Amino acid sequence: MTHLFQPLPLRGLTLPNRIAVSPMCQYQATDGLANDWHLVHLGGLAQGGAGLVITEATAVVPEGRISPDDLGLWNEAQAKALARIAHFIASQGAVPGIQLAHAGRKASNPAPWKGGGSIPLAAGGWTPVAPSALPFDEGWTVPTALDEPGILAVIEAFMDAARRAVAAGFRVIEVHAAHGYLLHQFLSPLSNHRADAYGGSFENRTRLVREVVGALRNILPEDLPLLVRISASDWMEGGWTPDESVALAKELGALGVDLVDCSSGGLVPRAQIPLGPGYQVPFAARIRAEAGLPTGAVGLITGAEQAEQILAQGSADLVLLGRELLRDPRWPLHAAQALGAEISWPASYLRAAQGQVPTRQPLPPTSR
């Protein structure tokens, strides 16, 4: 058996293989509601053979959306719309997961193809919140620094969204603490200039992430895994570092986190990131080795042999694919074929799995 297609036990459930759909914003929601686009997008990826299908960053409050077109989970109507998708994912043999998020100072932006920067208030934008009143970039809306009641409200919002997610049928919860969004903003000295219990030292800067994780672990069913996505490096002098990521991972493990999803960057514009195949895998490998916690590797993983090697070398326990799955939603089925592994195909697609190529029938003559 290949490593890529070995089951992965996480707490009380088992993923059928080590391939996960990385959360990818679609910018197709209205008022945070999932619709047919999300059903077809996520459902198709479940049909394609991924063991874990994670929704895009799903905002826990309206002002926590990256854009007005993002998914949300702050009310029951949104939970009902997502339940339909979670049910379909599970019906295809995949595990439905959801990423819960708050965009912080990077909120109130248009979809990428509509331009960049903050949406003006007069055009339907809103004032974002952050650990400190520091905008993401020049020309962006200056956020409001959260006070302590505001921080407590964020924790409560994550808890409420997690309860709705479980009731909707999601079996894996991931906390988004990466890519320059709110929880990552608290972690990094570049965006967190606070002088209270949530700023300054490593212990203080990591406090909100630890409080969110601890609160969720306390309310989630014991058998459901809790994942955290982090940016293991800001790729910027004076920012969050890989050493701090290892230290945080150790604390997350003690709080009941089951896997750390290792990404990087996103906190500041124009960071110098050395992009290349599997460029973030060393972060997953180091955290796995030094923190003793399962990890997920993500970032420019495109080939079956490449993914297999990451797992075979012990660099990670799970590979998460994003853009490659947009290009080829059936990537897991094709990877199994390439590696000589067995994988279940949807019954309606078995003709393709068996390599049957129907003979093309000649077209009838056309009359003019």
How do residues 246-304 score in pLDDT, each as one tens digit? 999 999 999 999 999 999 999 999 899 999 999 999 999 999 999 999 999 999 999 99
Question: Given this model, what pLDDT does residue 362 score?
Answer: 36
Phi, psi for residue 99 in degrees, rounded to 5: -100, 120
Question: Given this model, what pLDDT does residue 129 score?
Answer: 98
How do residues 43-56 score in pLDDT, each as one tens digit? 999 999 999 999 99
Question: Given this model, what pLDDT does residue 344 score?
Answer: 87
H-run or E-run covering 308: helix 304-312
Q: Which of 189-193, 215-219, 259-263, 337-341 has the weakest average pLDDT?
A: 337-341
Phi, psi for residue 198 in degrees, rounded to 5: -110, 15
To which residue do tokens 């077109």 refer? Answer: 69
- The 3-state DSSP class for residue 262 equals strand
pLDDT score of 162 more than 60: yes
Question: Given this model, what pLDDT does residue 10 score?
Answer: 97
| Active-site hit among 181, 198, 279, 349 | 181
Closest CA to 47 of 309, 329, 272: 329
- Average pLDDT of 57-83? 98
Alpha carbons 139 and 105: distance in angstroms, whole number: 12
Please, what is the end-to-end C-alpha distance for the chain in angstroms? 58
| Every domain of the chain and the residues it spans | 8-342
Specify whether 27 is catalytic: no
Q: Which of 16-25, 29-38, 218-227, 352-361 has the weakest average pLDDT?
A: 352-361
Phi, psi for residue 305 in degrees, rounded to 5: -65, -40
Question: Given this model, what pLDDT does residue 349 score?
Answer: 87
State the maximum Cα–Cα separation within the chain, in Å, rounded to a whole number.
83
pLDDT band at 353 (very low <50, low <70, confident <90, very high): confident
Q: Which of 14-28, 175-189, 257-271, 350-364 has the weakest average pLDDT?
A: 350-364
pLDDT score of 358 more than 70: no
Question: Given this model, what pLDDT does residue 121 score?
Answer: 93
DSSP character for 110?
A: -
Alpha carbons 361 and 233: distance in angstroms, whole number: 57
- Average pLDDT of 349-361? 60
Question: Given this model, what pLDDT does residue 258 score?
Answer: 98
- The 3-state DSSP class for residue 341 equals coil
pLDDT score of 23 more than 70: yes
Closest CA to 233 of 196, 197, 287, 300: 287
To which residue do tokens 């080795």 refer? Answer: 289
How high does pLDDT run on average in the chain?
Answer: 94
pLDDT score of 367 more than 70: no
- Average pLDDT of 340-357? 80
Torsion (CA) 330, 332, 334, 335 in degrees, nearest 10: 160
CATH topology of domain 8-342: TIM Barrel (3.20.20)
Tokens matching residue 321 = 């694919």
Kindly write down the DSSP assignment for every residue of 134-178, as one continuous string. Answer: --SSTTSPPPEEP-HHHHHHHHHHHHHHHHHHHHHT--EEEEEE-
pLDDT band at 4 (very low <50, low <70, confident <90, very high): very high
How do residues 184-214 score in pLDDT, each as one tens digit? 999 999 999 999 999 999 999 999 999 999 9
